[in-house]
Amino acid sequence: MADTTTGSTVDTHCPYCSLQCGMRLRAPESRRGSRRGPEVETWPEFPTNRGGLCRKGWSSVELLGHRERLTTPLARDPDTGELAPTDWDDALDRVATALRTTQETHGRDAVGLFGGGGLTNEKAYALGKFARVALRTSAIDYNGRWCMSSAATAGQLAFGLDRGLPFPLADLAETNLLVLVGSNLSETMPPAARHLTTLLDRGRPLIVIDPRRTPTAERATLHLQLVPGTDLALAHGIVHSLLAQGYVDQDFVERRTTGFDDVRRLVASYWPEHVERITGVAAPDITRAARMIGEASTAMVLTARGAEQHATGTDNVLAWINVALAAGHAGRTYAGYGCLTGQGNGQGGREHGQKADQLPGYRRIDDEDARRHVAAVWGVDPDTIPGPGRSAYEMLDALGTDDGVRSLLVFGSNPIVSAPNASHVAERLDALDFLCVADFVLSETAARADVVLPVTQWAEETGTLTNLEGRVILRRKAVDPPAGVRSDLDVLAALSERLGPGGGLIGTDPEEVFAELGRASAGGPADYSGVDYDRITREQGVFWPCPAPDHPGTPRLFLDRFATPDGRARFHAVDHRGPAEPPCADYPLHLTTGRILAHYQSGAQTRRVRELAEAAPEKFVELHPMTAERLDIYDTQRVRITTRRAATIAPARLSPHVRPDTVFMPFHWVGANLLTNDALDPRSRMPEFKVCAARVEPA
Ligand SMILES: Nc1nc2c(c(=O)[nH]1)N[C@H]1C(S)=C(S)[C@@H](COP(=O)(O)OP(=O)(O)OC[C@H]3O[C@@H](n4cnc5c(=O)[nH]c(N)nc54)[C@H](O)[C@@H]3O)O[C@H]1N2
Ligand SMILES: Nc1nc2c(c(=O)[nH]1)N[C@H]1C(S)=C(S)[C@@H](COP(=O)(O)OP(=O)(O)OC[C@H]3O[C@@H](n4cnc5c(=O)[nH]c(N)nc54)[C@H](O)[C@@H]3O)O[C@H]1N2
Ligand code: SF4
Ligand SMILES: [Mo]
């Protein structure tokens, strides 16, 4: 591997979100006797963030050498019921024995794996291979189902390929109109917000579509503050208005798309006044948004979780894609639809086989050619590779049942906090015969495990991730891990040896695993076979597909043709249905959930960083002052929020920025997900995190 240390600094990347900001870690002057860890410096040349970092990135080093860091395996003592330290051999033996016993008694599919979009490409690939070759189980899925799966499904349907952004992030500053749908970019990817500044400085408009006036919406030229769960109707209203005002790009629609006639018929009844009644967005604003989109010579429509985390998430995204296509904003430079992927490796993590229906290279597991190709790389008979398994929530929902998973391994997720209808998920986890969690802190999920394996974290190990642009980047090791921990790859290799297939099935050198992943991906939609570590270093990342060492990589997709068989993008005539759980007399408010700047995901990492815990110490319920007055609630008062599933108590935070019919809760603490609805999108299997019916009262 190329030596990239400059003096005593190492160029690496942040442990958190999909921006994967480049950062430089400087080793402390003298390590002897000093407990000081490395310091964060900027890496101004790295193109995606150009030196920008948010406070989570700046404070990320606190997790290295943290006092709550796990450094020894833990196993549950049968007498006391408590987790107690043990050695690696004992821990791994216990895991292997449990998995073998479960499979002998209940069949291969009774052992399951739950992965994460924060895992490196190498780990995601190894996890998929371990499931299909060492365990031969179909039961593997991951938390990406809860993240961008609706956009991924819609992207496949409309364009024949899913890569979050089909263009580099910097293109956002160069377009002539940006539409952000359900994205709070200023808080969820702060360094990316500088592109909004450039765009606005160029005099180009920004439209933000969000039920809350977020810091992102605050900057918008036009903010459409819709009722949660009504994106589909709003998008149809905009297409209706594009048609009515003569803004449909007929030439583009004829040459590069199919299916517009069905959409034209469908949106005929979505006149602005009708859409206003569904969405709460004033009819003139709908007309104005359509005019802005129609008049812009180039425009981008980007969705994030606000539009996607619904039981109609796939259809919502398809409807927003219709808007981009109808106005001719796709398949050209500085124009197009994109999804702002979320987790550190949200993109690569969805390509290399930790998904229930997938083989490496974004291949389908039910595709005979794909099975033959990957089986040859793995040196196995294609018939031994299992078929598709259950999606993330469906796997969790069936834990411990007769035909469900009875022994589960979790790598890189904390579902006790982040899964919908979480008390039900906790019950299912407790019904397991055996739970093993690999983590570097004792997350809420790890605390319920039978065996906990302490693993290395970001700057203690090397691996690739694929950022939200589709750029494969290299996160380099910058410090030595504490004694006693092992990498996820080491763990999988050791388990596969114990389970029988023998040594060498799972590599432990990330660079070698990446080369194998490249071969397995060759010829697939996400082809990495031309990428290697040295090249990533030289070129500051390589965009997939990159099918050969002399191939330049693909920063911009779809310029000549879309990836569908006929090369055309497809419109989809999907009808508006509304939230799975509309408000009623008992639960009169919409509850929506999401993120705040200071914390990351289930909070397992950031709640342990002092600066971040002080900035945002606890969960809260954000509600409009008018709603609070009606309910006799004052600011900071403790309130009970109840849904059909559960109730939880948290302080009220009064804010004029949320719709009066809606309340918001961040999900970084146990609480929000006790309340959320586990209704699933029929195609992507995304749960409806973004809207359910709730009641709020003084506690
Ligand atoms: N600070 C921070 N940053 C993060 C993360 C984090 O945990 N913390 N996580 C990373 C990950 S994994 C992800 S997926 C991304 C997510 O990034 P975002 O999608 O930007 O974040 P969210 O807060 O989940 O949701 C965005 C917005 O959707 C709005 N919304 C709610 N309901 C609806 C609706 O029905 N329609 C529309 N149009 N909007 C709606 C919410 O009000 C919210 O402001 O962030 C990444 N970055
Ligand atoms: N209500 C509500 N719920 C949501 C959402 C929402 O908007 N609203 N958003 C959803 C979304 S978009 C997402 S992405 C999920 C995320 O939710 P989770 O899947 O819970 O994600 P994290 O909190 O990132 O959990 C990662 C865990 O793995 C550990 N970890 C990190 N890196 C590694 C590694 O390399 N190896 C191993 N073995 N462990 C590692 C961390 O310490 C942490 O305990 O939450 C979803 N849940
Ligand atoms: S924006 Fe994301 S990648 Fe960048 S520093 Fe913040 S958390 Fe890290
Ligand atoms: Mo996510």
Across the 699 residues of the chain, what is the mean pLDDT of every consecutive 10-residue run?
Answer: 59 98 86 71 97 98 95 96 98 98 98 98 98 98 97 98 98 98 98 98 98 98 98 98 98 98 98 98 98 98 98 98 98 98 97 97 98 98 98 97 97 98 98 98 98 97 98 97 97 95 88 98 98 98 98 98 98 96 98 98 98 98 98 98 98 98 98 98 97 98
Residue nearest (by alpha carbon) to ligand 2 atom 7: 594
Query: Which protein residue has the closest C-alpha to ligand 2 atom 45?
Result: 418
143 lines ligand 2 (CB under 6 A): yes
Give how far Cα 47 sits from Cα of 20, 334, 542, 552, Å: 11, 17, 12, 17
Kindly give the distance from the C-alpha atom of residue 152 to the centroid of ligand 3, in angstroms, as a whole number. 22
CA of 144 to the centre of ligand 4 (A): 7
Burial class (CB in 10 A: 0-12, 13-18, 19+), 314: buried
pLDDT of residue 8: 86
Using DSSP's 3-state secondary structure scheme, residue 359 falls into: strand
Tell me, using a 6 A CB cutoff, whether residue 169 lines ligand 3.
no
For ligand 1, mutation pick of 210, 225, 686 (most atoms within 8 Å of CB):
210
Query: Residue 140 in contact with residue 115, Cβ under 8 Å?
Result: yes
Of 14, 319, 309, nearest to 143 by C-alpha is: 309
Q: How many CB atoms lie within 10 A of CB 402?
A: 8
The C-alpha atoms of residue 474 and residue 540 are separated, in whole angstroms, by 9
**How far apart, in Å, are the Cα atoms of 608 and each of 71, 357, 510, 586, 600?**
16, 35, 28, 37, 11
What pLDDT is recorded for position 97?
A: 98
- H/E stretch holding 358 reads strand 358-359
Give the separation between CA 592 and CA 579, rounded to whole angstroms.
11
pLDDT at 5: 47
| Stretch (H or E) spanning 123 | helix 121-129
Ligand 3, residue 17: give the atom nearest the CA: 2
Rg (alpha carbons) of the chain, rounded to whole number: 24
Best mutation site among 13, 42, 56, 196 for ligand 3 pocket (most ligand atoms within 8 Å of CB):
56
Ligand 3 atom nearest 600 alpha carbon: 7
Q: 57 vs 26, 44, 305, CA distance in Å?
A: 14, 14, 21
Rounded distance, CA 463 to CA 472, Å?
10
pTM to 2 decimal places:
0.97
pLDDT tens for each residue of 439-472? 999 999 999 999 999 999 999 999 999 999 999 9
Atom of ligand 1 nearest to the CA of 211: 42
**Is residue 102 lining ligand 2, measured as CB closer than 6 Å?**
no
Q: Within 10 Å of residue 235's Cβ, how many Cβ atoms?
A: 31
For 144-213, where are the E strands, in sequence order?
178-181, 206-209
Neighbours of ion ligand 4 (CB under 5 A): 147, 342-343
Q: Are 40 and 57 in contact (CB under 8 A)?
A: yes
* Ligand 1 neighbour 231 (Cβ under 6 A): yes
Q: Which ligand is nearest to the CA of 60?
A: 3
Size (the chain), residues: 699
Residue owning the nearest CA to atom 13 of ligand 2: 147
CA of 510 to the centre of ligand 1 (A): 32
pLDDT of 30 reads 58
* Kind plus residue range of the DSSP H or E element containing 281: none
Q: Does ligand 1 come within 6 angstroms of the Cβ of 184?
A: yes
Structure tokens at 284: 């003139």
Which pLDDT tens digit goes with each residue over 342-355? 999 999 999 999 99
Q: Are 148 and 375 in contact (CB under 8 A)?
A: no
* Structural domains of the chain in order of their starting residue, each with its CATH number: 9-65 (2.20.25.90), 74-146+353-543 (3.40.50.740), 149-340 (3.40.228.10), 589-698 (2.40.40.20)
Query: 3-class SS at 693?
Result: strand
**343 Cβ contact list (under 8 Å, min separation 6):** 17, 18, 116, 117, 118, 143, 144, 147, 349, 601
Q: For residues 684 and 162, give the distance between their C-alpha atoms in angstroms, rounded to a whole number.
A: 13
Q: Please name the residue whose Cα sits nearest to atom 8 of ligand 1.
A: 600
* Token pair 């973004």 in the structure block, residue: 690
How far separated are the first and last CA of the chain, in Å rounded? 58
Of 263, 264, 265, 282, residue with least CA distance to 273 = 282
Whether residue 342 has its Cβ less than 6 Å from ligand 2: yes
Strands of 457-504 (E only): list them: 463-466, 471-475
15: helix, strand or coil: coil
Q: What is the DSSP letter of 110?
A: G
Q: For ligand 1, say whether the CB of 603 is within 6 Å of any of its atoms.
A: no
Q: Which residue has the tokens 């099918």?
A: 547
Nearest to 340 by CA among 503, 488, 219, 187: 187
